[in-house]
Structure 1
């Protein structure tokens, strides 16, 4: 079986390739593509792909944008972190999917389904349209900027520049990538609702951390985790044992 992987996260694509080979050693990975542009260029030419694994979010946009320019004749298995509502739509559109992080047993079942049902069938235009409609409905507007007090003035603080937020003696503070600290007027609960949950995660009652600020994770006692961030936090950031699995799943998205 000849497979193409469309995935912009190197660790995710390598993990998928490893699991595929572990399930069926004869699988050949023809290409790993990390963007809409690269995928369009690849599938515009003659290729031998028999099955495509495709992430929804790529480096330069949604993977569905690929189908605005070309048709892919091979069947597609989407890899997604979307919720149950979205997964039902995938089923209704007769497209298989795998929920991240990818489970080897579920992947094996998808391969069997491909062999028995989807082999030789490409993606239909109405299926793509249905999924695009779903994605657009699911979109939520999140905060991109806050006004914060700084000395005798108020300045705009972009959320993309916030490394993490934390509570100190009842006051919420934001630490930026450049290690600048600002006092926030909002409480941590409101900030959690304001911020994109694919980018920011509520580690515990005290911290919300941006994904890109996490530089490492350590095992701690009793199944807990310690999250190391940059700039360094003056307090230890601990993920409870009960929340550690959810946190690792979030990091794997």
Structure 2
């Protein structure tokens, strides 16, 4: 069973993941999403887990905003510290509403509720995946961003996306970096860049870095399942990748 956790507190996400694995070792947390915007982007991109655990108050708003922007047919279990949203929560496809700190017994009961509905929900999800695959086959190939027009003083410089080593987010600004160490400010946010770039060539390591395949020098195992990525063009300390994105990174590097 594939699960997504929508939670902006890393410790809370880690605790929930640990409890879920104890209750059902076959369960797989395929991603942890930290914001409304990221959730909308992922579900708009066609991601279809079997179950979603969702906090209500996220860094950029309330998770109810996700349902206003994208259709989610996957069953949801809310996990939150706030009890005043229960009525609103059950207006969407909610299986249960758990209050933090979550107790193992309550979580086990919520999973039991999900499995009780599993025959119906699995058929719905299978149908949605089939429809999504058909629609993707019918759509023309998506055009990803091929070049940037960046500013340098009083002039503009065209830069091919193929020449970009990585993108960074520093002091609320986005930058693109070339292999020779030159950097230019980018007009797009990191989320906009991630959506515009070819996912076969670029990977979002964390909130601060999007890297090209050619930029990755080595990847090191780190504490608690995390990874540390070192780039050819960034001879400093490595870039940390959460354990939730570690497997995704390995898959991306090994395509």
Relative to the length of structure 2, the TM-score reads 0.45
Higher Rg of the two aligned structures: 1
